[in-house]
Structure 1
Amino acid sequence: MVIRHPLFVDNSRNEPSSVKQEGEGKILSTNTHSVVIVGYGGMGSYHAKLIANNTRLKVTGTYDILEERRKVSEEDGYPAYENYEAVLNDPAVDVILIATPNDVHKELVITALRHGKHVICEKPVTMFVKDFEEMMAVSEETGRVLMVHQNRRWDEDFLIIKEMYDKGMIGDLFQIESRVHGANGIPGDWRHLEAYGGGMLLDWGVHLLDQFVFMIDSRIKSVTSRLSFILGDEVDDGFEATLEFENGVTAIAEVGTTNFITLPRWYVKGTEGTAVIEDWSLKGRAVIQNREVGKVEPKPIKAGVGLTKTMAPPSEEATLTESLPEPFQHKSSFYDNFADVVEGEAEPIVKNNEVLRVLNLIENVFKAARTREVVKDFDIYEPKN
């Protein structure tokens, strides 16, 4: 039986809307912005499907260097440009969405900004901090919006953990473990190659580390890491990274592509309980200290060939088992937020200084793995408040 704990309060969801009100009686504009997707592979076509359900953005065309993908675009109902110059020089194009391999993001983004286009860029936006600093400078210089598609800030499993962290639902979280496991190796073609920005740290690590940075408002004191090369590729097929924050939180990120049995998506420890989310189906629970009951000494159990009280389960009356809380909800989708930022009506949910911080963190995760040392004094942290 699930017993309700006083800290667990259902939260009403704020569903995103294409028409939002700000202040008394003021309705924000709902202009539609034309979007051309550059790179019509898996992610490019996925963006097209998502944007088709959005009232603020409209895909009006695509461009890909591969003829077969241009044909697929036409079949999907999106006119395909013959070259990138045609996209840049089309005055009807408001936004260019970059969904190409990582190594060409910088050139494509800077060129688009200089042609007066707003830009959405897939993650990782670049492989190096210095490259993104150049892109940010051009965005500032041209007055065009550059926003990176860190879409997993909207994942419900993460938002549940964020809600628990923000509200102290199992006490203060002091250890947060985030894992993504699979057994299919590195996907696709270019993700196997270093020159294209392949590998799991850049592919999935950029998401897990971004979630940590977005959630935990504290400077990172140190990082240790280990990369996996089990499959023999020139890039990592997995990694482990441990971050120590100044506020006392330890955050562990792990990605594996050789895991035939997976560990939980999230495992978090608080001063008053522990919570787990098994996978993206959101199956999970929280076990919390029962405040109404004083300390109950555990009874010894047989463990192997010995006895233990230390590792015995707590008595039934000493804990409460809870279902997971409703997740924190952003007030708008990524695409609506981007449109609001373009129109000067909102701050970006994915801020470029946060993206820069994650890239800097990734560079130091690579450094820690290469040197096999604890890396310190690297974080470019800016308090949120």
Structure 2
Amino acid sequence: MIHTALLSYGMSGRVFHAPFIHLHPNMQLIGAWERSKQLIQNDYPDLTSFESLEALLADNRVELVIVNTPTNTHFEYAKKALLAGKDVVVEKAFTTTVEEAEELKTIGEKVGKKIAVFQNRRWDSDFQTIKQVIDNQLLGTITEMEIQYARYTPSLSPKLHKEIPNPGAGIVKDLGPHIIDQALCLFGKPQSVFADFRVTRTGSQVEDYFEILLYYKDKRVRLKAGYFMREPVPSYIVHGTNGSFLKSRADVQEGLLLKGVKPDITNWGEEPESEQGLLHTETDGVVIRETIPTLKGNYFEFYNKVYEALAHDKPMPVTVDEGILVMQIIDAAYKSNAARKVVDL
């Protein structure tokens, strides 16, 4: 059993972590650090509400720590957990700088503890389907791709750590890591980066719109997010030498989790058929234009792989090196936006 504790029990702890750890047959949730409200025992009466980080790290039962606090605290808390002899899972964005990410890697290697970055969106139904289409070469050689988060949220977030300027604030480090990581999963490290950031909402003090262009030798990948996109458009647009694939962002897992549905139902992660992606391509001289079934999403796979890594010395599902590469892209994007030019990696 991997005995695990959370560093907060807000939305991320309640929705994205606790249900999966609690139901996992080889993991045991010990409790969470709760600063003001003691809420975890409302859902899990037998668990511990830790009054301080020090108390949680001093508990010898705790082997794995989930750093699911605001981004600007990730480095400090992950470092303390590693030095206390705990393995760690760190939410996105991994850290606020490349240097912090690299230092965590060095510390982890020195103390012999493992680090994973929580990139659950790799196990979204839509991304799993996109990856299958590309891996099966249904489009031929990929020439370009666009991934975007299209939202209509003109109001500022009540979470002040997202809106008040600090090293972890802004949409680039909030939504950016999800789609940067997905691009890297599909195509690896790009050669260079160009980025354009904007402030669009009334009263916003941080960037709330971005376009990031990843340059590869044989393709371009455009990443985009903003808060003034009322009409839904395909979140994934992939073009290749044989055809195209368009897919909405329709994974159902977050919506179900927010409603309190536990991830142990038989149809967990199944999208409605109405959200199937459109495949328009040519195979063996035959042109086809049809929707194709969407694969199931399943965030459980992240924690299955964390268990395998800790119990059987397998690689973490999202490695520290992959986390560092995402931070390198983010760092290059900030430099590009500031200089208004392409930045080589």
Q: Does the pair score TM above 0.5? A: yes
Give the aligned residue type for 2:342.
V
Q: 2:23 is paired with a residue of what secondary structure?
A: coil
User: Would the alpha carbon gap of residues 289 and 60 (structure 1) be closer, same or farther in structure 2, given more than 3 Å must change?
Assistant: same
Aligned to 2:19: 49
Matched, 1:355 2:326: no
Counterpart of 1:234 (choices 205, 213, 234) is 205
Cα offset, 1:220, TM superposition: 1.4
Q: Could you tell me whether the CA contact under 8 Å between 1:33 and 1:57 is conserved in 2? A: yes
Greater CA deviation, 252-261 or 272-281?
A: 272-281
- The TM-score normalised by the length of structure 1 is 0.78
Aligned to 1:59: 29
Cα offset, 1:74, TM superposition: 2.4
Aligned to 2:265: none
Cα offset, 1:342, TM superposition: 1.0
Matched, 1:288 2:281: yes
Q: Which runs of 5+ in 1 are unaligned?
A: 1-31, 294-318, 379-385
Aligned to 1:308: none
**Mapped partners of 1:288, 1:204: distance in 2:** 31
Aligned to 1:300: none
Report the structure, 1 or 2, having the larger helix content: 2
Cα offset, 1:341, TM superposition: 0.9
Q: Could you tell me whether the CA contact under 8 Å between 2:277 and 2:293 is conserved in 1? A: no
Give the aligned residue type for 2:237.
Y
Q: Could you tell me whether the CA contact under 8 Å between 1:288 and 1:322 is conserved in 2? A: no
**Mapped partners of 1:100, 1:55: distance in 2:** 26
**Mapped partners of 1:157, 1:326: distance in 2:** 7
In the TM superposition, 1:74-85 aligns within 5 A as: 74-76=41-43, 77=45, 78-85=47-54
Cα offset, 1:327, TM superposition: 4.2
Matched, 1:341 2:312: no
**Mapped partners of 2:191, 2:232: distance in 1:** 29
Matched, 1:138 2:107: yes
Cα offset, 1:330, TM superposition: 9.2
1:327-349 deviations in Å (ceiling 9; x for gaps): 49999711111111112342222
Aligned to 1:364: 332
Q: Could you tell me whether the CA contact under 8 Å between 1:224 and 1:369 is conserved in 2? A: yes
Give the aligned residue type for 2:103.
E
Q: Could you tell me whether the CA contact under 8 Å between 1:56 and 1:335 is conserved in 2? A: no
In the TM superposition, 1:1-385 aligns within 5 A as: 32-46=1-15, 47-65=17-35, 67-68=36-37, 71-76=38-43, 77=45, 78-185=47-154, 186-187=156-157, 188-195=159-166, 197-217=168-188, 219-231=189-201, 232-246=203-217, 248-280=218-250, 281=271, 282-289=275-282, 291-292=284-285, 319-324=287-292, 327=295, 333-376=301-344, 378=345
Task: Compute the RMSD of aligned alpha carbons.
Answer: 2.0
Q: Which runs of 5+ in 2 are unaligned?
A: 251-270
**Percent pairwise identity:** 25
**Mapped partners of 2:145, 2:296: distance in 1:** 17
Corresponding pairs, count: 316
Q: Could you tell me whether the CA contact under 8 Å between 1:181 and 1:263 is conserved in 2? A: yes
Q: 1:287 is paired with a residue of what secondary structure?
A: strand
Cα offset, 1:57, TM superposition: 1.5
Q: Could you tell me whether the CA contact under 8 Å between 1:242 and 1:250 is conserved in 2? A: yes
Q: 1:170 is paired with a residue of what secondary structure?
A: coil
- The TM-score normalised by the length of structure 2 is 0.86
Larger Rg, first or second structure (1 or 2)? 1
Cα offset, 1:234, TM superposition: 1.9
Q: Could you tell me whether the CA contact under 8 Å between 2:5 and 2:62 is conserved in 1? A: yes
Give the aligned residue type for 1:145.
K
Q: 1:194 is paired with a residue of what secondary structure?
A: coil
Give the aligned residue type for 2:7.
V
Q: Could you tell me whether the CA contact under 8 Å between 1:160 and 1:324 is conserved in 2? A: no
